[in-house]
């Protein structure tokens, strides 16, 4: 144990000798290990302990708390975005190459403070996942979600420790803007279903995240091809983080798209006749007048498109067998009360489409019934 503590102390001394003197004595900045410990505790809480504690409990209803939390996050993110702008990105910073200003100028100090508060905001975002666990929304606690939230405090810690300002703060500028949009959506979503009609732009949130990471990649990696007094190690650090998150979000986007496509196909299958419902005889009109089964056979014969999904028949579902019903056209009209009896046979005559010749077949059926009674 003593050997481990000695090793930790040597790491801390090395980092302090190379860090920004303005932040080394700030909260959580003396060593990376407190931040690492908090991140690991977060992962344990949301992946192991939290689900275990909630396993036999009812999900908590946190609507008012969620609305308040997300509103505070919107305000916090907006303030951070403003501070990043006023700390340099509004005028004095260059998008091409921006070294860190290590002076004690008011603008430089403002950016340094903004960097630390941005680091602190990454801990407050842990509550996103904790609320999911308390509400038993375990499907939301994805690997992407946990990696994204669990890695960010550690990543930002290194930036605040060594380069609090300059080129890397473009990451924070974009990220705080995205969080303004994201937490605004969460806030309105938590207010209730009456606000859903205003959230049509939900589908663009993941795209916005991915565009953010592309811009960060381009902005960071450009320094690999030009001379700029900015540490190349942090160029790779920020750029590779953006690459990792881009591919993680891309996989999430594709998975979500596949799920939406599957749901859409399922709805289509449930709302319309399935193509595998066709009988051997495609012509429903001809099949109606084929020799009918004897009275001993009670299974209705399906002509045309026989598969009925949510009551919609594209063709003619002919179950005629003495007293069997005939459903012409759209069979849902039975539920609307439009069925009536003709010669003892129940006819549901609605709005048939061309495949089943629905409205015309009523007269044909009557003629056939009369003809058969005459033969008997």
Catalytic site residues?
Answer: 148
3-state secondary structure of 352: coil
Report H helices in 57-136: 63-84, 106-124, 126-134
- List Cβ neighbours of 315 (8 Å cut-off, separation of 6 or more): 273, 284, 303, 304, 305, 306, 353, 355, 356
Q: Which H helix or E strand runs over 348?
A: strand 345-349
3-state secondary structure of 341: strand
3-state secondary structure of 24: coil
Residue of 181, 148, 153, 172 whose CA lies nearest to 248: 148
Give me 93's structure tokens.
């910073």
Sign of CA dihedral 104, 107, 108, 111: positive
- List Cβ neighbours of 238 (8 Å cut-off, separation of 6 or more): 159, 168, 171, 216, 220
Q: How far is CA 267 from its chain centroid?
A: 19
DSSP 295-334: TT--SPP--SB---BTTB-SSEEE--SSS--EEES-GGGG
State the Cα torsion 73-238-170-25 to the nearest 10°.
70
State the Cα torsion 170-174-180-185 to the nearest 10°.
-160
Contact 133, 51 (CB under 8 A): yes
Sign of CA dihedral 286, 287, 289, 290: positive
DSSP 130-191: HHHHHTT-GGGS-HHHHHHHHHHHHHHHHHHHH--SGGGHHHHHHHHHHHHHHHHHHHHHHH
């Amino acid at each position: 144990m003593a050997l481990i503590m000695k090793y930790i102390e040597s790491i801390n001394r090395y980092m302090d000798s190379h860090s920004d003197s303005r932040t080394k004595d700030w909260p959580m900045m003396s060593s990376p290990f407190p931040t690492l410990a908090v991140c690991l505790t977060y992962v344990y809480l949301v992946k192991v302990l939290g689900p275990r504690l909630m396993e036999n409990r009812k999900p908590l209803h946190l609507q008012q708390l969620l609305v308040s939390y997300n509103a505070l996050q919107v305000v916090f993110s907006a303030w951070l975005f403003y501070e990043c702008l006023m700390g340099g990105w509004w005028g004095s910073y260059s998008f091409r190459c921006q070294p860190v200003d290590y002076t004690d100028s008011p603008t430089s100090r403002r950016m340094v403070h903004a960097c630390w508060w941005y680091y602190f905001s990454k801990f407050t975002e842990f509550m996103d996942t904790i609320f999911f666990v308390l509400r038993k929304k375990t499907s939301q606690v994805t690997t992407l979600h946990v990696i994204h939230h669990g890695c960010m405090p550690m990543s930002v810690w290194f930036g605040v420790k060594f380069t609090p300002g300059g080129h890397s703060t473009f990451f924070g500028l974009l990220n705080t803007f995205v969080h303004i949009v994201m937490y605004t959506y969460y806030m309105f979503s938590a207010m209730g279903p009456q606000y859903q009609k205003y959230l049509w732009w939900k589908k663009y949130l993941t795209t916005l995240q991915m565009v953010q990471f592309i811009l960060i990649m381009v902005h960071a990696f450009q320094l690999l091809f030009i001379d700029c007094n900015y540490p190349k190690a942090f160029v790779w650090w920020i750029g590779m983080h953006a690459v990792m998150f881009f591919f993680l979000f891309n996989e999430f986007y594709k998975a979500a798209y596949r799920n939406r496509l599957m749901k859409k196909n399922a709805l289509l299958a449930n709302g319309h006749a399935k193509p595998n419902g066709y009988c051997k005889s495609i012509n429903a009109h001809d099949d109606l007048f084929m020799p009918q089964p004897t009275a001993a056979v009670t299974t209705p014969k399906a002509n045309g498109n026989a598969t009925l999904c949510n009551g919609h028949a594209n063709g003619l579902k002919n179950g005629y067998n003495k007293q069997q019903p005939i459903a012409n056209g759209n069979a849902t009209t039975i539920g609307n009360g439009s069925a009536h009896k003709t010669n003892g046979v129940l006819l549901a005559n609605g709005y048939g489409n061309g495949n089943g010749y629905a409205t015309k077949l009523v007269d044909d059926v009557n003629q056939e019934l009369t003809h058969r009674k005459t033969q008997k």
